[in-house]
Structure 1
């Protein structure tokens, strides 16, 4: 129990899932004081959400764990489909995908959610921050100076800001008085769990479907002996779903897989999933914010949940760090809701559509779950007030997806550093500051001057001017640059500004941060 009011941290995070942990790392690496608590007494060991999309891998590279995640998971797992017991096909929807200079991750990563959380905890510990387990936030009070969070054990924690990352049943959200609009369909449910199964290949994701529209899937989880089991529930004599159990999983498997001699064993997770499509009407009330499942929940098709939450945290982290340091204009935090609520709405819509496609696909022998692969996430925020058009782009191209604009995801590109060693722009962007790229010798002086004026907030590089060399032209092509240009990249690796005028960079930064440039 926490006696009285504990030390005042910059930010208190309720919930140590992928969203909360990503946010904690983002704050800690930017120097903010962060405290993260979780209601569970120990970390779970459940596969749950099991896929990271390419954009999320880019985010987690910036966070510092993608290399470790790639070592723990797999990017190549074909789908093997059976229909009424007969093998139909093996497919890999990303077989022809290749990395490109501007997009290094051509496919997603299969990895258990518990493994992602473990890597994020380890990364957070590198900054001297540990999760306080068995500590649940049940409510709060806030004033002009901060938030006092109330704990289940009677203790209290004082912080400048509180972020609820405490899941679909979020107590923080309920205490905020925020609506959670949407529906829960009790008639559509799945059973899911982690089991072992000897005698089944671990080289493919098995999908057994039947002409009655039902079936079972076994997905081997990398780095474990387990498979994630997914199926419709077994029904009792009264027609109602039976609770998940190893015995019911075995009966479902025997009915639809028809593989003799295979026994499911060692269940470490048994759960029921119901179709929920809900979204908070707001992400911020004063000094309290929401992220991840606490803000939006949706069907599991497409694996968008963990990805959306991680990208919520990535968007919020740099803004909250500037706010806690007293360096941000108060309106900066409003852009979190402005940018992420539309993304949440998109995720709800697309995952609902994909779930319907999955249900239809299982009835067709020639298709499978791969037919429901989602479109890419995290391509940008063109609608944001942080992405105002500039004079370097023809207004007629505003809606053109092939023309880079403010708000878009900043592309990667291979370059050479000042010593001639290879370096990617994503490696350069891993610095927690804004990044200013100056293309052309004509703007090299302005780049150096702006970097010096905003030292601590902006890192500045003259492309082909001594700092970085675009030796193969990939950076010029990715950013659509032929004439001299300045490109300002946000700390979350989205394009803030494309211009030729150094004064526009100064004006842009002055609208966001409360810093007087050095003379």
Structure 2
């Protein structure tokens, strides 16, 4: 890219992590011109956000990458507790869950974050998009029509909207002066690293409890890959040594393994568990998503998942405003819907970290929704507007998720012959099916992100709702 060049885009996405890449993929399939910029020279190299929850698997299904995710990862193994070099018993890490017709994914699914990002980047490339690396944001200004962003590579970007997906230390959030309110969950620092330990079996998630002045250490095999993710807790005031020698020393001190049995240290970092929420998710034409908007403890595997779902919520709304004539006020619903969800997930992550709640149904994120929110209108059968739309079989072979897949709305008539409006926007597809218990009987307008936006026993009020989210 030439110095002092000027580029134009519908949306500038700052950050090429899971949030930014998910949003870029969603916008690309909607025909929205999005530019992704990342200050690092390449994709994040570590396993950090390794647990993909069932609801996020549904998102990845819709985006066309779930097969790649399933091929590259695997289910979480049973925990194995070690004491004095001997196995002393199994520990169930997650409450068991089985897939069903309505909920086809049971998780969590383990996949290192670097591989998730590779899969999303490949999908973005397939859709004609790309990411620019080595380009940090240095300046941001906006007016009523657009945002002007200067990058460290000499490029100026003129965009209709900017999305901050640049992590917990978000440059965008800092330039906007948006504060974060939160707390330190645990003063004890943590070390996380990707290591190779051929001497350790990959059948279990290996757990080494605290002993004396040593904190706990866990070693989780990353399915489909040769590495383990190592997590170690240190005493308050300690500074973890993230060098290869430091990582090896921790393993030798807290397990029956020797330092030289750690044959490779691929990546390492340290952090202090914290929970924080941005004071607002929007400033004019700039919106915050992912860790730029909320910072979680890694316990419970909620951070990456909540971030991906931020992008999924925002993507269809930007698409409707930029390509389908929806009122710009539709973007106001992003913060109204996602900030309460993020706050709830912060509380859940904190409780799991402190041992006050188990990793179970609540961490799967299947029960999250937007009931009572600004885009939830009506109820019918077994569902109210704002609920997640369940999957299920269709008489002609495909499943409901197959019918929902893509950037459109679906008007679903379940077990009813209620008449439908003669004229509907082109982006709304109509599907009639027989009775199905997870829905009951009624009409359901399923949003592009898989939630029921409007529901009723007949079509009364449907036209008014559609006028809020698309051009008639």
- Return closer, same or farther for 1:186/1:245 CA change in 2, 3 Å cut-off: farther
Matches within 5 A, 1:53-68: 53-68=53-68
- Return closer, same or farther for 1:440/1:414 CA change in 2, 3 Å cut-off: closer
1: CA distance, partners of 2:120 / 2:241: 32
1: CA distance, partners of 2:350 / 2:94: 22
- Alpha-carbon deviation of 1:186? 8.2
The one of 418, 437, 442 aligned to 1:477: 437
Match of 2:337 in 1: 339
List per-residue Cα deviations over 1:162-199 (Å, max 9, x = no partner). 00100011111111121112234783211111111121
> TM-score when scaled to structure 1?
0.85
Match of 1:320 in 2: 318
Confirm or deny that 1:434 pairs with 2:413. Answer: no
- Alpha-carbon deviation of 1:155? 2.2
- Return closer, same or farther for 1:240/1:446 CA change in 2, 3 Å cut-off: closer
Match of 2:143 in 1: 143
The one of 354, 357, 370 aligned to 1:381: 370
- Return closer, same or farther for 1:286/1:326 CA change in 2, 3 Å cut-off: farther
182-191 vs 123-132, which moves further: 182-191
- Alpha-carbon deviation of 1:222? 2.1
Confirm or deny that 1:413 pairs with 2:392. Answer: yes
Aligned residues: 469
Match of 2:112 in 1: 112
Unpaired runs of 5+ residues, structure 2, are none
Match of 2:182 in 1: 182
- Alpha-carbon deviation of 1:246? 2.4
- Alpha-carbon deviation of 1:293? 0.4
- Return closer, same or farther for 1:250/1:488 CA change in 2, 3 Å cut-off: same
Match of 1:282 in 2: 280
Match of 1:467 in 2: none
| DSSP 3-state at the match of 1:413 | coil
2: CA distance, partners of 1:234 / 1:94: 26
2: CA distance, partners of 1:345 / 1:61: 26
Matches within 5 A, 1:41-440: 41-92=41-92, 96-184=96-184, 187-212=187-212, 214-233=215-234, 240-259=238-257, 263-325=261-323, 327-357=325-355, 371-373=358-360, 375-378=363-366, 379-390=368-379, 392=380, 403-417=382-396, 422-440=397-415
Matches within 5 A, 1:486-501: 486-501=443-458
2: CA distance, partners of 1:16 / 1:70: 22
- Alpha-carbon deviation of 1:258? 1.9
2: CA distance, partners of 1:25 / 1:215: 39
CA RMSD of aligned residues (A): 2.2
Asked if the contact 2:107/2:364 (under 8 Å) is kept, the reply is no
| DSSP 3-state at the match of 1:270 | strand
Higher radius of gyration, 1 or 2: 1
- Return closer, same or farther for 1:90/1:240 CA change in 2, 3 Å cut-off: closer
The one of 420, 425, 428 aligned to 1:446: 420
List per-residue Cα deviations over 1:269-319 (Å, max 9, x = no partner). 111111222111111111100100011102110111110100000000000
- Return closer, same or farther for 1:245/1:260 CA change in 2, 3 Å cut-off: closer
1: CA distance, partners of 2:91 / 2:192: 23
- Alpha-carbon deviation of 1:153? 2.9
> TM-score when scaled to structure 2?
0.94
Unpaired runs of 5+ residues, structure 1, are 359-369, 394-402, 464-469
